[in-house]
Each structure stands twice: as structure tokens, then as C-alpha cells.
Structure 1
Amino acid sequence: MAGATDPADADGVLPLPSPVALWRLLSCAVTTAILLLTWRVHLPRHNVGHEIPFADGTVGRVYRETVLDLGKATEPVTLIVGFRLRWVGSNRFAHRLFRIESLLNTPLFVGFPGFVSKLWIAHDGNNVYRGVYEWDREDLAHRYVRALWWPLALVSERASIRYHVVPGSRRDATLSHIRLRPGEQQWWHPLTTDPPPRVQGMG
């Protein structure tokens, strides 16, 4: 796929064929509408403003949280997605506009099978945005990102779109318990925070 993240990169994305991705995104939007109408989607505020340090030396601030009220994941994984906006650089006004309008992107993920929660992380010192998700089932997390690549590619530097899955780990556990091995400096790896962000009502 021309312009896609190099799949040889361990955290690169191999996009789905565009017709398949479009169908899945449309299905997600329909499901999201149903979830919104039945009050299953929540935007808790207790983690907003929390700063999360990462192993590459950057720090991101939580500016929004989205939680789906469908119970705990039975096969939880943590999914971290990163990207850098195209043409924005360090323009504060442009970043602020993006954070505001990004709420409209909710239909691009809430209705995907396996979604549990998401922390929206503002751009760090390298202008990289992150989403830190809890997902149910590793295979479903991979499928989601392969579809997500297409809308992200419209606004992001394509080579900057990356993701990493931490299998068998709830989001809160990844943010509070996972430890670095010597020499590790991964962009996705959150360092332990005190107190760590928590999902209300979900353990």
C-alpha cells in the first residue's frame, strides 16, 4: 500500500483494502448511533488533565475519555495508537481546534466490535497524538486499526501512524504496572503514574 506505514516496522499499520475499511467504518457509525441513542456512551471527566509520561521521554495530557457501558472485557488488551497531524507542526491554535472537533470522530471507533474505553491523549513534545484504548480481543483490536488507518491518513503524516497491542492487559494495568526492560524507549510504553488513570465502574 503506497504511503502506508512500513509493515516491516513492528508498530506499523497494514491497512485493509479501502472498500473493506469503508464498509466497516460505515457499520461502526450505525452501531455508534444506536449506542448513543441508548445512552451507552459516556464521557467521564475524572481522568481529564492527567499527564502520562512515555518511555521515549515525552508526556501526553488526557483531554477526553470515552467509555462504553457494556461491561468488562473478557479477553482484555491495551491498544495504543499514535499519529502526527499533517501541516500543523506546533501551531497551538490548530491543535486546539483539532482537540475540539475530534469529538466528532467518535463514530469512527465506538461501534467497532470489542471497544471498551479510550483515553484521548493530546500532542506531546514531538506533536504526536495518542489514543490509549482498552479492547476486548486482540484480533478485533488489530482489525480496528487496519480500518482506522484510512481516516487517519486523511489528516496525518502517513508514516507517523503506528500502533501497539499489549495482550492480556487491561488499560489501567498497562498504565500502572507494566515495567520497562533496560534500554527500552518505545513511543507507546507508558511509564507508571501515581495515581494512574482509572475507568470508573469497570474495576
Structure 2
Amino acid sequence: MTSRRDVREEATMTIVQRERRVEHYRLATALPRLAACAGRTMMLLARRRVHMPRRRIDTWVRFADGSTSRIYRETVLDRAAPHEPCVLIVQFRLRYVRGSGHRMFRAESLLNTPLFVAFPGFVSKLWLAADEHGVYRGCYDWDGPEAAREYVRALWWPLALVSDTASIKYQVLPGVRRDAVLAGAGHVDVGAGREQDQWWRPLAAPPHA
């Protein structure tokens, strides 16, 4: 006999699964958005409004699924504080990349900066290297949960070119800032899902958070 708790857990897990599935734009919609973002990014770079602080580099973060990732880059936009703060966490696993190929990817990934910096709502991003399972993560501060989802819908296409599409997942945490989540002070409702379903939830914080 199914208990109320089982029903509640199943409903929560269904919500989590639906949240993680990337409902991507059609390519004809995504390309103009990505191109416009790249154009605006060039102006932001020219005005020196994009920064890459180094204080968090080589900090390790542990996640609820048991994996650990190293921060290898941070990108920050010089802008006003968000009106609707939220955290966006994206993961993906590269296809055909092994060994030293990961080092090469981390270096060239800097060229992907124009694909997100000027998207509406972007505040900052922590770039996390591949964990024990080859999974990369991006941990963003964003202004507006729906704006964050709009970004992910366009991001799916460049990720799909180099990644196993089944590995592309995301989580939006409204009403919190990234540093608070990393520090464990973000009061995040993690639901009733299993730990392996909480790949996005940090358990250990950078010492600067």
C-alpha cells in the first residue's frame, strides 16, 4: 500500500525532474539571441565591465551527489545588484574528451564568454571543472528566475554541439544569492529527492563565501 509520504516524495521528484529538463528553443530562435548576446558582450568588454577575480580559483566544492569540482574561473559583470536574485546551476558532460583534453577545454572555454555575459539578468558565474564523473558545472548569480531559464533554453544548442545531450541539466533557486547557497545559508528547499538527484546542491563552501 502506498503511503502519503511515498506519494509526496514521488510528486516532489517529478517536479525536480521537470525542472531539470531543458526545454530548449528552436535553433532559429536561439541563434539570434546568442548572436545579440555576443554583440553586446563586445561592448561590455570594451568598456571594461567584465572582470575575472582570482580569489576563488582552485577552491573545491563538494555536492550532495558525492562529487567534487574545482573552481577554475570566475566571471563577474560590473552592474547593479539584482532585483530578483536567484541561483542558476547548469551541468553537462563532454563527448569524446579524455585526459589532457579536459585541460585544453578549460583553456578554450574562455572563448564561450560572449555566449552568456550580456544575456539579460547575468550577474556572475563560477566555472567548475569536470568532477569524478566528467561532469562540468556552471554556478551563476542571476537576476530573475525566468530570465535564467530563458538563457538555459538558448544555451542548450552550443552545449549540445559538444556534450551528451542527456547530461545537460539545470536547477534554478529563486530568492537566494550564490554565495549564500555555497555557504549553506541559503535556506534551499531540496525536496524529497535522492542525493544523486541533487547534483546541483553544494555541501562544502569556498572559504571566501
Which TM-score applies when normalising by structure 1?
0.88
Q: Kindly indicate whether residue 127 of structure 2 is the aligned counterpart of residue 120 of structure 1.
A: yes
Contact map agreement 1:55 1:184 (CA 8 A) in 2: no
- State the Cα deviation string for residues 53-108 of structure 1 (Å, max 9, x = none): 000000000000000001211111000000000112xx221000000000000001
Q: 95, 98, 103: which one pairs with 2:105?
A: 98
CA deviations 1:156-203 (Å, max 9, x no partner) are 0000000000000111011112466677411111114262x44xxxxx
CA–CA distance in 2 between the matches of 1:193 and 1:105?
A: 26
User: For residues 57 and 37 of structure 1, do their structure 2 counterparts lie closer, same or farther at Cα, with a shift above 3 Å needed?
Assistant: same
- SS of the aligned residue for 1:187 comes to coil
Partner of 1:133: 140
Going from structure 1 to structure 2, the CA distance change for 1:182 and 1:162 (only over 3 Å counts) comes to closer
The alpha-carbon deviation at position 140 of structure 1 amounts to: 0.3
Measure, in 2, the Cα distance between the counterparts of 1:164 and 1:194: 20
What letter is aligned with 1:188? W
Residue 188 of structure 1 pairs with residue 188 of structure 2: no
Q: Which residue of 1 aligns with 2:24?
A: 15
Separation in structure 1 between the aligned mates of residue 46 and residue 60 of structure 2, nearest angstrom: 32
Deviation at 1:31, TM superposition (A): 0.7
Greater CA radius of gyration, 1 or 2?
A: 2
What CA distance in whole angstroms lies between the structure 2 residues aligned with 1:99 and 1:23? 26
- 3-state SS of 1:28 partner: helix
In the alignment, structure 1 segments of 5+ residues that lack a partner are 1-6, 199-203
Q: 1:43 to 1:21 in 2, by over 3 A?
A: same
RMSD: 1.7
* 1:42 match: 51
1:119-140 deviations in Å (ceiling 9; x for gaps): 0000000100000000000110
In structure 2, the CA distance between the partners of 1:126 and 1:32, relative to structure 1 (3 Å rule), is same
- The alignment's TM-score, normalised by the length of structure 2, stands at 0.86
Cα gap change, 1:159 to 1:181, in 2 (>3 Å): closer
Against the structure 1 CA distance between its residues 183 and 144, is the aligned structure 2 distance closer, same or farther, given a 3 Å change threshold?
A: closer
Identity of aligned residues (%): 54
* Structure 2 equivalent of residue 150 of structure 1: 157
Q: Which amino acid aligns with 1:27?
A: A
* Secondary structure of 1:113's aligned partner: coil
- SS where residue 116 of structure 1 aligns? strand
- Write 1 or 2 for the structure with the bigger share of helix: 2
Contact 2:85–2:144 under 8 Å retained in 1: yes
The count of corresponding residues between Structure 1 and Structure 2 is: 189
Residue matched to 1:51: 60
* Residues 20/194 of structure 1: CA separation in 2 closer, same or farther (3 Å cut): closer
Contact map agreement 2:89 2:170 (CA 8 A) in 1: yes
